[in-house]
Every structure is written in structure tokens, then in C-alpha cells.
């Protein structure tokens, strides 16, 4: 561990009691990092608290010879995020990496989605990512280094049914990460996103009412959370010192660099546009380049490798 890619670094991993977060924490520790294992221990929809999963993750790290401490604060609470960073400083004297992995689901078709379900998902995913990042930002600036790794989703980047709240939060995280990367590059601080494909309780609620849905779920079950962790460790390490403001996707043994919005067509009209001119000229000119209402399964239509 002393000569691993994360040797000498201290990492906060949120939602690290189970699934992807747990695998990230374990690999971080095996690569030499001291880890703050944060997990509220809530149910999938964000209700309740249980420190058991986080405690088990910490014990597993220590049993393997690594260093870890537990933190049970809620990422949606700004004061809780400050306590997470304080936990790292108290236990290990510094903070080098923040991995924003914690999340909940409140799925529902949009016309039935409640305000409470929309706000709850944004609170944990988007505001939670802001809270923990902001809590570490001044320290990163002072030491002239630091890495944020945020979790986005193809539900936002591409689309999925019944997840307007989740998609909005996850696309918000893309913008947050890009803004952090731009603002803090002058201080040697990096910020990147990962969209993971992995079987966890976060996608365990996918319906299996049809044969196609069942086949999709069966494929997803082969994508273990451990496949995601190496990309997180790489982006957190000094090996990725020149990488910032990017969006990656990990699916099994495949890794992808995702595109970011840029102009793809343009049209100019002297004297400006009227609604009628837009309908007559721009509409037909741009029609072949409009994006269809794909969901992530349409874009990633081949079996995982």
C-alpha cells in the first residue's frame, strides 16, 4: 500500500457503505489512501439511517491493512459536509480527494412526480455534491492540489424513462463539475465526472415486466461495482494530473470519453430571424441533425464487453 497510486493521500468517499462507493473506498485504501467512509445508511429513497454498512466497509479496509474512519453525516446538509472534511483533518491531517458518490432514487413518470420527490433527489445528488466540494475547496486551494470525482449518469447525459428528477440532478452535476474545473484549475485543482453502468440497489428498481426488460436487467447484473472503482482511483491520482473538466463512462470492461455540448450546425440570415423564417429555413436545414428521444439502452445498444 505504501507505494500505491494513492500513497500519502486522504480521500472522502460519500455513500461508501455499499455498492460502487464501497468498492471505491476499498480500492482507494488498497492503493495507499487513507479513507473517510461516509454513509448515512439510508434506504434507496433516502429514508432512515444505519451505520452498519459504513462500519463494515471501514472494518474491511482495516483488516486488509489500510486506514479508514467512518462518518455518518448527510451530504444534503452543508454542516454535515463540513464535518466530513473535519473528520478527514482530525483523523489524517489533510484532504486530497472528494468522491461524490452518494445518491437516492425517487423514480416516477413526470406528470405524476411530486415536488417532494424532485427536491429530495436534487438535495442529495446535486446539492450534496456542491456541499462536499465546497467544504473541501478552500483547503484544496490553500495546498495547491486536489481532485473532485463526481458521479453523473447516462439517465441525464442521454435519457431514461421515469427519471426526470434524477436526470436533472445528474446533468446539474456535469455543469457543477465543469464550473469547478474552470474556476479552480489555476490552483491545481481538478474536477471530473463518471457515468457508471453497474448493478447496485440504485438500479435494482428497474422494472422487469417484459422479456426485453428482464434481458436488460440480466445484462446489468453482470456489471459489478468493482469495475467502476479503477477509473475513480485513476482520476483521483497524480497520474491524471492533466485531466480535468471531462466526462467518462464505465461499462464493464469498456471505458468511454463522453462528448460535451458544442455547436454542430449553424445558419445565418441577414437582418435577423422571424418565427416564420425559422420554420421555413432553419427547421428543414437542421431536421436531419436533431437528436431523437433515445434512452441510454438505445445508445449503448450492444452487450457489455
Helices (H), the chain: 19-30, 52-63, 78-92, 115-122, 128-143, 154-157, 164-184, 211-221, 229-236, 275-277, 283-286, 296-299
DSSP codes, 56-78 = HHHHHHHHTT-EEEEE---TTSH
Please, is 271 exposed, middle or buried when counting C-beta atoms within 10 Å of its C-beta (0-12, 13-18, 19+)? exposed
Q: What is the DSSP letter of 258?
A: P
Q: CA separation (Å) from 111 to 7, 105, 129, 206?
A: 49, 17, 27, 19
Distance CA 134, CA 100 (A): 12
Give strand pairing partners of 150. Answer: 100, 193
Query: What residues are annotated to the active site?
Result: 166
Distance CA 287, CA 174 (A): 27
Task: Give the β-pairing of 254-257 and 34-38.
Answer: unpaired
Amino acid at each position: 500500500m505504501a507505494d500505491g497510486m494513492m500513497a500519502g493521500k486522504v480521500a472522502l468517499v460519500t455513500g461508501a457503505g455499499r455498492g460502487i462507493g464501497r468498492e471505491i473506498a476499498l480500492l482507494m485504501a488498497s492503493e495507499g489512501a487513507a479513507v473517510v467512509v461516509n454513509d448515512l445508511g439510508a434506504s434507496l429513497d433516502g429514508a432512515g439511517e444505519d451505520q452498519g454498512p459504513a462500519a463494515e466497509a471501514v472494518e474491511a479496509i482495516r483488516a486488509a491493512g489500510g486506514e479508514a474512519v467512518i462518518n455518518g453525516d448527510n451530504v444534503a446538509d452543508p454542516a454535515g459536509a463540513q464535518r466530513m472534511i473535519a473528520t478527514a483533518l482530525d483523523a489524517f491531517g489533510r484532504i486530497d480527494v472528494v468522491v461524490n458518490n452518494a445518491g437516492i432514487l425517487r423514480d416516477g413518470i413526470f406528470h405524476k412526480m411530486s415536488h417532494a420527490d424532485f427536491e429530495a433527489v436534487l438535495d442529495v445528488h446535486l446539492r450534496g455534491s456542491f456541499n462536499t466540494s465546497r467544504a473541501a475547496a478552500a483547503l484544496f486551494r490553500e495546498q495547491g492540489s486536489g481532485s473532485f470525482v463526481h458521479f453523473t449518469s447516462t439517465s441525464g447525459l442521454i435519457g431514461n424513462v421515469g427519471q426526470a428528477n434524477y436526470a436533472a440532478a445528474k446533468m446539474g452535476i456535469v455543469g457543477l463539475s465543469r464550473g469547478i474545473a474552470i474556476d479552480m484549475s489555476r490552483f491545481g485543482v481538478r474536477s471530473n465526472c463518471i457515468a457508471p453502468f453497474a448493478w447496485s440497489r440504485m438500479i435494482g428498481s428497474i422494472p422487469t415486466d417484459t422479456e426485453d426488460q428482464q434481458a436488460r436487467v440480466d445484462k446489468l447484473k453482470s456489471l459489478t461495482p468493482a469495475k467502476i472503482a479503477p477509473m475513480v482511483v485513476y482520476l483521483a491520482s497524480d497520474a491524471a494530473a492533466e485531466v480535468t473538466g471531462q466526462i467518462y463512462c464505465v461499462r464493464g470492461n469498456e471505458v468511454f470519453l463522453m462528448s460535451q455540448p458544442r455547436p454542430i450546425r449553424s445558419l445565418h440570415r441577414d437582418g435577423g430571424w422571424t418565427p416564420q423564417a425559422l420554420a421555413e429555413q432553419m427547421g428543414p436545414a437542421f431536421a436531419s441533425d436533431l437528436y431523437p428521444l433515445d434512452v441510454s439502452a438505445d445508445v449503448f445498444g450492444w452487450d457489455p464487453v
